Structure 1
Amino acid sequence: MTITVRDFRPADAKAVADLRRAAVPFLLATPQGIAWEVSTATAEQRLRLLVAERDGRIVGSVRAMLLHDSSVPGQTTASPQVHPDHRGRGVGHALLTSAEEHLSAAGATHLFAWAADEPGALAFAQRHGYRRTRQGRFLRLDLAAADLPPLPAALPPGVRLHTGADFEDDPHPLYEADAEATADEPGDVASDALTYEDWLRRTWEHPYADPDLSAVVTVDGEVAAFSLAATDGLGRYSSAMTGTRRAFRGRGLARLAKTASLHRARDAGCTEAFTGNDAGNAPMLAINHGFGYRPFAVEWRHVRELGRG
């Protein structure tokens, strides 16, 4: 059957959300979140959300955009997502070809894409000229049944626990902590040029963001560690980012923040939790395994230098 690739329309939001949940079940996806990501994209992102139709049904999508939060120009991303029932029929090829054309015209030099750690997906990436780089591990926690560690009965002097909602009047200290921690994460592309305005739009104001379930640790009034929560209203919780500022590392503060966030999530009715880590991020992987997270999926990041075949 003929495959048609076209730009996303607002009426596609539910179909794309359903597709993403089927293709990448460890990521949150709601119609509101999909529509919001498209409607709030900045000109610098050059975002295009493309969908693939077969017989009038959306069977695949790809989000192609510039990684403008990196100080290195020309870095881009596009990872085709195809419904499991429609793989191996040319949908991924059609989506990736359209994404590459768009990003090449936008000045891309490198295109990064994720592929599942399974033979078909890895072979697809290799056939299209992509080189494997880093492994990402996605973990799941049965939050309803998890034996979460208790919160300490008393905190050390000067240490306080807050919710993200406590910072709604001025979230800038959270942005500074998030930007510093994110810049130090292992990865192919450094996210070292994230502005406060972009962070507000993409993180703080995102429909998945849940300030009430997020946890922030301060030391003598300064933000030291945090665990940002994302939820989909369907019982699923995801760790948007957990980190510690450099001056406060090695004191267990990120673990404290995530412990508080997970307890709040369960109390709020969330039943399962997801998180993702670079395979080289041993400290965070150890923390998550300590909470009871277990392997759920593995993906490999790939890169292709555009213009070189």
Structure 2
Amino acid sequence: MTVIVRTLSPTDPADAEGFARVRRACLPAMLATPASVAYDAARAHPDAHYRPLVAVDDAGTVIGTAQVGIAYDSPRPGQGYANVYVHPDHVGRGGGTLLLRTAEAHLAQHGATEVFCWALDGPRNLAWAAARGYRRSRSAHFLRLELTADALPPMPAPPSGVALRTAADFAADPRPLFAVFAQTVADEPSDIVAELRDYEQWLTDTWRNPLLDQGLTSVAVVDGVPAAFSLAQTDGDGRYWSGMTGTARAFRGRGLAKLAKNDSLHRARAAGVSVAYTGNDADNAPMLAINEWFGYTLDATEVRHVRTLDS
């Protein structure tokens, strides 16, 4: 079987469907739909040099994917990423290696000196990354919660001075949500530190993304000011992803993130969502504790890897 690697065409429905299908087979927690795949490919920031790749077999079937780009919003230059996934039915045929080498060449061309990638925790995947010159870094856990009738803790009344809203309530001006989102991103543990300063790009990447569910995204407001949020993404097929949960620095330590996430999950269950996913850095003890309290269980673990590119 011959495998070729090429850039995904955002205007080709078969490419977008194949990309989403492979991602769902490899990592169900990370939501992807044909619409979201095409959207991301068409609207990425130009400085990201984002290039989604597909590995295609003789029959024209997409059997592997790679999300490739430059971390342009990091204060440290030269950091690229290449997240490669091959459909479980097609591993061992060279598609993953071809995707990775194509990604590395693209990133080097655009100034990357380091490439970060994720590998699902398991002997085969970890050995694969090591054999291609990648060394282990930090880990992240994907968690799953079945939204059955009795799955969630009761929803308490908000404390005095706190009100619960949804992102839809900020449709006319989402900038106050961006401020909380940016603080959360800046303080999140990661190998690649991000600084969100571009409001317009945030609107493109997050606010207008087809996966965002404004009605299920909950916001805790204190005296009229957004203090905490739990961003919800849904795929229209009963799955929910906590895109991010966080609190503005001035309001931390008051349980507002837990309150917002509880409200969002209750809304999701009432809307017919059947399973909720979330993800946390393995060192993010506060959020891991919150998710354990909700009843989430481990679904998968990925290990971040990094390779310094040859000059």
Q: Which TM-score bucket, shorter chain as reference? A: over 0.9
CA distance in 2, matches of 1:118, 1:87: 14
Task: Please report how far the alpha carbon of residue 182 of structure 1 lies from its aligned counterpart in structure 2 after TM superposition.
Answer: 1.1
Residue 121 of structure 1 is matched in structure 2 by 125
Kept in 2, the 8 Å contact 1:116–1:298? The answer is: yes
Give the counterpart of 1:88 among 88, 92, 95: 92
Identity of aligned residues (%): 53
In 1, the alpha carbon distance for the partners of 2:148 and 2:88 equals: 28
* Distance in 1 (alpha carbons) for counterparts of 2:87 and 2:73: 30
- What code does the residue aligned with 1:179 have? A
Q: TM-score, normalised by structure 2?
A: 0.96
Equivalences for 1:31-46 in 2 at 5 Å?
31-46=34-49
What's the counterpart of residue 112 of structure 1? Answer: 116
Distance 2:171 2:210 in 1: 15
5 Å-filtered alignment, 1:20-39, equals: 20-39=23-42
Trace 1:163-202 onto structure 2 (pairs within 5 A).
163-202=166-205
Residue of 273, 286, 289 corresponding to 1:286 = 289
Of the three residues 241, 246, 251, the one matched with 1:243 is 246
The TM-score, its normalising length taken from structure 1, stands at 0.97
Residue 194 of structure 2 aligns to a residue whose secondary structure is coil
Select which of 143, 149, 159 maps to 2:153: 149
Please give the alpha-carbon distance, in whole angstroms, between the structure 2 residues aligned to 1:33 and 1:67: 20
Q: How many residues align?
A: 307
Mapped to 1, the partners of 2:55 and 2:68 lie a distance apart of: 14
1:67 equivalent to 2:75? Answer no
Shift of 1:7: 1.1
Moved more, 66-75 or 293-302: 66-75
Partner in structure 1 of residue 6 of structure 2: 6
Cα 1:137–1:157, aligned 2, differ >3 Å: closer, same or farther? same
Q: Which residue of 2 aligns with 1:232?
A: 235
Give the deviation of 1:2 after TM superposition: 1.3
Give distance in 2, aligned partners of 1:67 and 1:192.
10
Partner residue of 2:306?
Answer: 303
Structure 1 Cα separation of the partners of residues 148 and 239 of structure 2 = 11
Query: Which SS does the other structure have where 1:26 is aligned?
Result: coil
The question of whether the paired residues in 1 share the 8 Å contact of 2:20 and 2:37 is answered with yes
Q: Structure 2: any 5+ residue segments left out of the alignment? A: none
- Runs (4+) of structure 1 exceeding 6 A deviation are none
How far apart are the structure 1 equivalents of 2:147 and 2:126? 31
Residue 52 of structure 2: SS of its match in structure 1? strand
| Partner-residue secondary structure (3-state), 1:59 | strand
Distance 1:73 1:274 in 2: 32
Residues of 2 paired with 1:100 and 1:214: CA distance?
36
Question: Cα–Cα, structure 1 residues 285 and 305, in superposed 2: closer, same or farther, change >3 Å?
Answer: same
SS across alignment from 1:226: strand
- C-alpha RMSD over aligned residues: 1.0
Give 1:194 deviation, angstroms. 4.0
